[in-house]
Amino acid sequence: MTTNDVEIAIIGAGFSGLGAAIRLKQNGFDDYVLLDRGHDFGGTWRDNTYPGAACDVPSQLYSYSFAKNPTWSRSYSHQPEIHAYINDVAEQHGIPAKAQFGTEVTHAEWNEAQGRWIIDTERDGVKGQVRANILVGGVGPLCEPNLPDIEGIDSFEGKIVHSARWDNDFDYSGKRVAVIGTGASAIQIVPELAKITSRLDVYQRTAPWIVPRTERPYTKLEHWAYKNIPGYQSAVRGTIYAANEATAFGLTYSPAALKPVELLCRANILRGVGRDAELRRKVTPTFQVGCKRILRSNDWYPALARPNVDLVTDGIERITPTGVVAKDGTIREVDVIVVATGFHVTDSPVFEKIVGSGRRSLADVWSEIGMQGYKGSFVHGFPNMMLMVGPSTGLGHTSMVYMIESQLNYLVDYLKTVRAQGITRTEVKLSAQQEFNSDIQHKLRNSVWVNGGCASWYKDANGNITTLWPGFTFAFRNATRHFDIAAYDVVRGARRLPAPDIDGTTTSDQPATVTA
Ligand code: N01
């Protein structure tokens, strides 16, 4: 087994983990490692390669503020371009040398005696260990595919593929395909598959609200302006940001203010479906706009109106070896089932692998109190660990990269404080965490997510919203500008190494031997 001793271990090389690595390097924290099970940077933008995968936040805002990209080809970017952007940024900042790809974190446990995290890894079947004073979790909430628990699904003899684990080597053309789900992923997949499949059955449980997608290629003049006019790109970015924040007001405090959005969605339905009254009825949502994520598409409704596409709203009774049986008894034989059923967000299997004080995992703690943390970053019982895109940081209206960069400010200030004050152990106070969460729940009480009459992945098994940041994102930016040490119990002093290892053997605090 190989071991690697570092000051900081970052898990995940998506927008969060890469951003952390860059900001650490810029601020003189060089003793860190970046672990990722994939083979390059990008996280969810590396993994989601389904046809039509694209971002529904404008390109100008969906990028790091410190690495603006004047060459985005379109106003909304598609997955290959975002994936390439993330890898380019990593190269420009010299991060690849710090990354260990193909490295799965199998377990990470806080060792109180040693005052550090013991992180077990596996790479090509070879076990390794990273020991770090501080753990930064950048695994993201949309990484563990949620497979639907439908009777008989395991008996299906054709091909089953999840939207986030797309098989690009398989030839879907001419096939009979069933798509389960009508969320953000499905509405991008279906229009593309509809063009090439012989039949496409779309199983809808809940119709989503969908606004038009104002996507277009940038002109040469715009590209010139982004490159050559100082401040122009920042001004465009700022304008998009401000417009999006207006939606935050409606979502959190006054759902009635979202009526114009609903009218826009209704017009989108009329334009896309035309005269087919039955299809219009099926695709018109019955909950308040904004309660689930508002989607963006111009081609979803026209795709549903195609003669080879059938929108099934009767629900799925079971799956047989050769097809899908709807609740009305109709059997539809298919060659392929696409499950676009989202992710384990509030019940991620990753939570079982992260074990804090008293050998209690995140799954143990959160199964009792719900997915709670302090400022989306620290969790009581998990010393020296900061989560990126942790509880209460999700958004329904603007770019997650803005939230990530806010957390990066907090991370850097935390590390500077720890270094300046000789702090060896930091744990958020339970009282601070509880107060923070009561405030979040108080702010959510009038929100559309609570009152809009829908079920969504924003809610946990108890119906509580533990995923979203209520209100304006600049409030989160302000809350995370400085590390507020008063909210934490800290221990100062020298590190207690060498010390007995987790398995009883003795380790020394020698420089790293890198996992091969
Ligand atoms: O997943 P979802 P997603 N039987 O959870 C249905 C981000 N994203 O992968 O609504 C039948 O939204 C479920 O039905 P219902 C974005 O944040 C961003 O599409 O629960 N159906 C729903 O229709 C997004 O919110 C982009 O009734 C079942 C669908 O499956 C998040 O990822 C692009 C079912 C799941 O929708 C997740 O989106 C793509 C069952 N047993 C994704 N179980 C951008 O553009 C679930 N469903 C940035």
Domain boundaries in the chain? 2-41+95-144+344-515, 153-216+226-339
The string of pLDDT tens digits covering residues 422-479 is 999 999 999 999 999 999 999 999 999 999 999 999 998 888 999 999 999 999 999 9
* Nearest Cα residue to atom 10 of ligand 1: 206
Residue 26: pLDDT band (50, 70, 90) is very high
For residues 157-182, give the mean pLDDT.
98
- Closest residue by Cα to atom 1, ligand 1, is 342
State the CB neighbour count (10 A cutoff) for residue 163: 26
Distance 161 CA to ligand 1 centre (A): 15
Distance 501 CA to ligand 1 centre (A): 43
* Closest atom, ligand 1, to C-alpha of 142: 32
Indicate if the pLDDT at residue 516 is higher than 90: no
Tell me what pLDDT residue 497 has.
Answer: 52
**pLDDT score for 461:** 86
Q: Angle, nearest 10°, between helix axes 232-252 and 220-228?
A: 100
**Is pLDDT of 484 > 50?**
yes
Q: Residue 1: which pLDDT band, with cuts at 50, 70 and 90? A: confident
Question: 221 — phi, psi (to 5°)?
Answer: -65, -40
The CA 343 to ligand 1 mean position distance, Å, reads 8
* Tens of pLDDT, residues 343-386: 999 999 999 999 999 999 999 999 999 999 999 999 999 999 99
| Fold match, 2-41+95-144+344-515 / 153-216+226-339 | yes
Residue 501: per-residue pLDDT: 45
Q: Is residue 282 within 8 Å of residue 449, measured between CB atoms?
A: no
Q: Which residue has the higher pLDDT, 324 or 505?
A: 324
The answer for residues whose C-beta is within 8 angstroms of residue 304's C-beta and 6 or more apart is 190, 202, 272, 273, 279, 283, 311
> Would you place residue 499 in the very low, low, confident or very high pLDDT band (cuts 50, 70, 90)?
very low
Q: From the alpha carbon of 182, which atom of ligand 1 is closest?
A: 23
User: How sure is the predictor about 496, in pLDDT bands with cuts at 50, 70 and 90?
Assistant: low
Which 3 state secondary structure label does DSSP give 17?
helix
Q: Are 423 and 398 in contact (CB under 8 A)?
A: no
When the pLDDT of each residue in the chain is averaged and rounded to a whole number, the result is 94
Note the pLDDT tens digit of each residue in 189-248.
999 999 999 999 999 999 999 999 999 999 999 999 999 999 999 999 999 999 999 999
Kindly indicate the confidence band of residue 503, based on its pLDDT and cuts at 50, 70 and 90. Answer: very low
User: When comparing pLDDT for 514 and 198, which is higher?
Assistant: 198
Mean pLDDT of 170-186: 98
Residues with CB under 6 Å of ligand 1 are 54-56, 142, 148, 150, 163, 180-186, 203, 205-206, 293, 316, 340-342, 455, 457
Closest ligand 1 atom, residue 54 Cα: 45
Order of strands, sheet of 176-180, starting from the edge strand that comes earlier in the sequence:
159-162, 336-339, 176-180, 199-203, 309-312
Ligand 1 atom 24 nearest Cα: 184
Q: State pLDDT tens for residues 87-128.
A: 999 999 999 999 999 999 999 999 999 999 999 999 999 999
| Ligand 1, pocket-test mutation among 299, 341, 401, most atoms within 8 A of CB | 341
Ligand 1 centroid – CA 345 distance (Å): 11
Query: Which of the two residues, 498 and 394, has the higher pLDDT score?
Result: 394
Q: Could you tell me the pTM of the whole model?
A: 0.94
Given this model, what pLDDT does residue 512 score? 30
The Å distance, Cα 234 to ligand 1 centre, comes to 32
> Rounded to 5 degrees, what angle do the CA atoms 308, 267, 255 make?
120
Burial class from Cβ neighbours inside 10 Å (0-12, 13-18, 19+) for residue 436 reads: buried
- pLDDT tops 80 at residue 514: no
CATH 3.50.50.60 fits 153-216+226-339, yes or no: yes
Could you identify the atom of ligand 1 that is nearest to the CA of residue 457?
5
Of the pLDDT bands very low, low, confident and very high (cuts 50, 70, 90), residue 495 is low
pLDDT confidence of residue 275: 85
Q: What is the pLDDT of residue 467?
A: 96
Pick the residue with more confidence: 409 or 505? 409
The atom number, within ligand 1, closest to the CA of 163 reads 9
Q: How far away, in angstroms, is 156 Cα from ligand 1 center? A: 22
Q: Which pLDDT band, with edges at 50, 70 and 90, does 406 fall under?
A: very high
Assign a CATH topology to domain 2-41+95-144+344-515: FAD/NAD(P)-binding domain (3.50.50)
8 A C-beta contact, residue 304 and residue 310: no
**CA 342 / ligand 1 centre spacing (Å):** 4
Q: State in Å: Cα 434 to ligand 1 middle.
A: 30
- Degrees, nearest 5: CA angle 113-117-120: 120
343 forms beta bridges with 145
Å from CA of 121 to ligand 1 middle: 30
The answer to whether residue 277 scores a pLDDT higher than 70 is: yes
Q: Whose CA is nearest to atom 13 of ligand 1?
A: 181
